[in-house]
Chains A and B, each alone.
Chain A
Amino acid sequence: MTFILLPFFTSVFAFVSSSISGRLVTLCFAFLTFFTLDFFDTQGFCSVVGGYPKILGIELCYEESLFLPLLSTQLIFLLFSFFRVPSQVSAVSAVMLGAFNGVLLTNDAFNLFVWFEVILICSFVLPVFFRECAFKNLLKFLVLNILGSFFLLSGVALVYKQTGYLNLTKIREVASYLGPFALDQAYIFFIISFGLKAGLIPFHNWLGCSYHGFDKRLLPLFYAVLSKIGVVAMVRVLGVVDSPTPLVLYIISILSFISILVGAALAYFENNLARSLAFLTISKSGLLFILALSFPSKLLYMYLAFDMLGTFLFSGLLLKNFQTAKADKPALTFDVAELFTFYFLAFTLLGFPVSAIFLIMFVGFSQTEFTWLLIVSLMAFKLGFLAFVFKLIAKFSSQPGIRKASCLEFAVAVFLCCYLSFCVIKKMAL
């Protein structure tokens, strides 16, 4: 409960405080929430809010695998509280943090919907506090996400109809007695809902149309956290059955693979940086959905935690240094330290050389029929991301000399990292 209540208290204090003290309060509470992680039991535990019987009450469960995503989210919000934003933004972002923790910790299908809605409401409200807010974009964002919520609610209703429970542990028990196709209809609704949230193709339209209209201080939070909610929720829902039916598997894998390719292509050909990053998010969502199908949630959470933090820092750094004052020639103006950080983050997100380890784990744990798709998807995503980074350097670097040198350096570094990854894989395979 601490993880949900602390951000909500933060929100109240930040909302009633003035701008500077509001930010200070948020910062203090963010530190407090962050250090609360230290007291967590490594074995995992469940608690029912209010002491009601397990099935009736709101059950929150902590597992060992949730430690990293929780740590990563607290860290992102801690970093976000350093941003110079109005105190209302700090307040609402704290509520969003509490709700994200709720999505991770809840063990109840309906509460998953409720936390999902709280996050959505926060994401609708957040852009309004900034001077630069395109209401038209917000409207598209709002309508499509509300539709997504309706589908989620329908899915929850179908699960309840089939199993008679909302508690995920109980649903898992009952689902094992039911036939393999019992929850298929519910899964179709969940795919539409979470696909809409994560920007999976063909539900991706709102992402490219809305994000670029919001303030750029807000966007890293949206790219890193908001787009990942759908993936987290899908992992939680997929965990209810031992293995989803081929229909569900094929729908998710086909949509995900198309998302990886189309997202990367759109990101490459787009000239607006905010939009380009939004399209890259589509590609990333596709990859995460395929990973969710292919291997245990423990590993996915690990990768997700690493990816969320990386995306937040990478998009934050890019948007901070992207000068749009000269409309005819937008430029990225990095100093040496920032350029080094940019390269480091780009490599981290590309997964060099860490990807070597992840690749082995992914392939080792994946189901046999998806191994080839997994490898192709990973390669497709990496190539897409690489092309995006090259385009960033080549098109937006402020000086042509630096542009060529940077491209060359980056290409050499990528080659070395590929070779290193290959060596690690070969050694571990032996």
Chain B
Amino acid sequence: MDERLILSLLIGALSGIGTYLMLQASVVRLLLGLTIFSSAINLFVFTSSELNKVAPVGRIGEDFAKVADPLPQALILTAIVIGFGLICFMMGIILKLSSTLKCDDLRLFDREE
């Protein structure tokens, strides 16, 4: 099967799962949903480069026309680092909230207000 099709299906599936989890009432599921959704977006960025090419590692005598575009991969790395930081911060907030209210239900958070 074409790699582009497989990647598209994978991105669609991950986005769907991520969205479904984010719509749940549990904060833990919300966090998981966000993480999965961010993976889908990173894969989406990855598809913006040409696929079916060799790894972008410089070798002497390499035909550069066959080498994959390294820029989207660098972008994904940056996005992963930023996303990881944000998810960690969010985990801290959720931990604080859950320990205060002794639950992980978003509907109860609203009622506590």
Q: A160-B48, A161-B48 are in contact. Are A136 and B71 (CB under 8 A)?
A: no
Q: A143-B30, A154-B44, A157-B48 are in contact. Are A110 and B75 (CB under 8 A)?
A: yes
Whether A158 lies near B82 (C-beta < 8 A) is no
| Apart from the given pairs A142-B90, A157-B47, A160-B72, 11 other A-B contacts in the complex at a CB distance below 8 Å | A121-B89, A139-B27, A139-B90, A142-B93, A143-B34, A143-B90, A147-B34, A153-B75, A156-B75, A160-B75, A166-B71
Assembly CA distance A117 to B30 (angstroms): 20
* Chain A, 348-404, CB within 8 A of any chain B CB: none
The count of residues in chain B whose C-beta lies closer than 8 Å to any C-beta of chain A is 31
Q: Is B63 an interface residue (CB 8 A)?
A: no
| Residues in A whose Cβ lies below 8 Å from that of B41 | 150, 153-154
- The interface residues of chain A, by DSSP majority, are classed as helix
B71's contact among A143, A154, A160, by CB below 8 Å, is which? A160
- The interface residues of chain B, by DSSP majority, are classed as helix
Please indicate which of the listed interface residues A125, A134, A138, A150 has the most CB atoms of chain B within 10 Å of its own CB. A150
Binding site for B on A (CB under 8 A): 110, 113-114, 117, 120-121, 124-125, 134-136, 138-139, 142-143, 146-147, 149-150, 153-154, 156-158, 160-161, 166
Whether A142 lies near B97 (C-beta < 8 A) is no
Please indicate which of the listed interface residues A113, A135, A161, A166 has the most CB atoms of chain B within 10 Å of its own CB. A135
| Residues in B whose Cβ lies below 8 Å from that of A113 | 79
Assembly CA distance A149 to B45 (angstroms): 13
Whether A135 lies near B97 (C-beta < 8 A) is yes
| Residues in B whose Cβ lies below 8 Å from that of A153 | 41, 45, 75, 79
| Residues in A whose Cβ lies below 8 Å from that of B78 | 110, 114
Whether A157 lies near B45 (C-beta < 8 A) is yes
B89's contact among A134, A142, A157, A158, by CB below 8 Å, is which? A142
Q: A117-B82, A136-B109 are in contact. Are A150 and B48 (CB under 8 A)?
A: no
Q: Is B112 an interface residue (CB 8 A)?
A: yes
Q: A121-B89, A135-B97 are in contact. Are A150 and B72 (CB under 8 A)?
A: no
* Chain B, 24-47, CB within 8 A of any chain A CB: 27, 30, 34, 37-38, 41, 44-45, 47
Assembly CA distance A160 to B44 (angstroms): 12
Assembly CA distance A150 to B40 (angstroms): 9
* Closest Cβ–Cβ distance, residue A158 to chain B (whole Å): 7
| Residues in B whose Cβ lies below 8 Å from that of A160 | 48, 71-72, 75
* Closest Cβ–Cβ distance, residue B15 to chain A (whole Å): 10
| Residues in A whose Cβ lies below 8 Å from that of B112 | 136
Residue of B with least CB distance to A113: B79
B90's contact among A146, A150, A161, A166, by CB below 8 Å, is which? A146
A150's contact among B38, B47, B71, by CB below 8 Å, is which? B38
